[in-house]
Amino acid sequence: NTGWSAVLGTLCVLTFALMAGTGIVLCMYYSPSPDKAYASIDYIMESVPGGALIRGLHHWGAGAMVLVVFLHLLTSFFSGTYKAPREITWITGVGLLLVTLGLGFTGYLLPWDQKAFWATVVGARLPSEIPVIGKWLTHLILGGPTVSGFTLTRFYAVHMLILPAAIVLLAAFHIYLVRLHGIAEFRPVDDERDGVYRFYPEHLARGAVAFAILVLVLVLLSLKAGVPREAIAGTVDERYAPRPEWYF
């Protein structure tokens, strides 16, 4: 009775691998400084072979990863997999969603356009409403009183080093717990079948099909829709309305 929803966990891992691979290529050409960040994106899109496709995969893959992790958490919740003995498995899954959102938040400042700048300004000011430690948290996030070059380099370091390492460690522990307790599945009381759902070939085949479809969609979006881009950060436009990515 294990349906196709079982591949969502595998999709999370494979999508992260895609994001890590494209991210490594992008960081080879990206310069995390206010005076060069915007121009380095132009260079990636126009001069690096396959750069537009790689950046498109990274951009659209970020939204896809948030969506897949959220759907995995949602199906796990409604199938009751947070119950004993899988409480820690559930908690690590929630942690993985939060880290994924952290990757999204730190990542969309890096293009250094209007949307990146102002969405970060708004998002970073939210913790300032927390009593006692709020202003300290905002200063820690921004690396100063306002969004600046220190913010950009700080977000770049967190996005490239700290959060990916956190995902790898949490995911490894999460997968270990899944292997330890098994996959929770719905089985009617009168169902006496003793079916076995194996990683190979059943799960591997399903996961490969699902990931191939996802990559195809991301490639089509990258080639047809491109990557939305706005004017460089600091452009004066009194009509501009800050807005975050759709998943926030």
Place of tokens 């992790």: 69
Please state, in angstroms and rounded to a whole number, the distance separating the CA atoms of residues 12 and 67: 9
Closest CA to 118 of 232, 8, 4: 232
Q: How high is the pLDDT of residue 125? A: 86
Q: Residue 186 has what pLDDT?
A: 58
> What's the pLDDT band for 240 if we cut at 50, 70, 90?
confident
Give the residue-averaged pLDDT of 102-107: 95
Distance from first CA to last CA of the chain, Å, rounded?
A: 34
At residue 171, the pLDDT reads 98
- 3-state SS assignment for residue 191: coil
Distances from the Cα of 15 to the Cα of 20, 64, 124, 170, 204, angstroms: 9, 8, 27, 15, 15
Percent of residues in the chain assigned helix, strand, coil, to nearest 5: 70, 0, 30
Q: Look at residue 235 and tell me whether its pLDDT is greater than 80.
A: yes
User: What average pLDDT is seen over the chain?
Assistant: 92
pLDDT for the residue 156: 97
| Residue of higher predicted confidence among 96 and 4 | 96
Q: Is pLDDT above 90 for 10?
A: yes
Closest CA to 10 of 221, 214, 195, 218: 214
Q: Which pTM does this prediction carry?
A: 0.92
pLDDT value of position 11 = 97
The predicted-structure confidence for 16-71, as pLDDT tens digits, reads as follows 999 999 999 999 999 999 999 999 999 999 999 999 999 999 999 999 999 999 99
- What is the pLDDT at residue 191? 58
Say which range, 24-28, 77-81, 107-111, has the weakest mean pLDDT: 77-81
Instruction: Read off the pLDDT band of 225 (50, 70, 90).
Output: very high
pLDDT of residue 120: 92
pLDDT of residue 190: 60
Contact of 111 with 38, CB cutoff 8 Å: yes
180-216 tens-digit pLDDT? 988 776 555 565 556 677 888 888 999 999 999 999 9
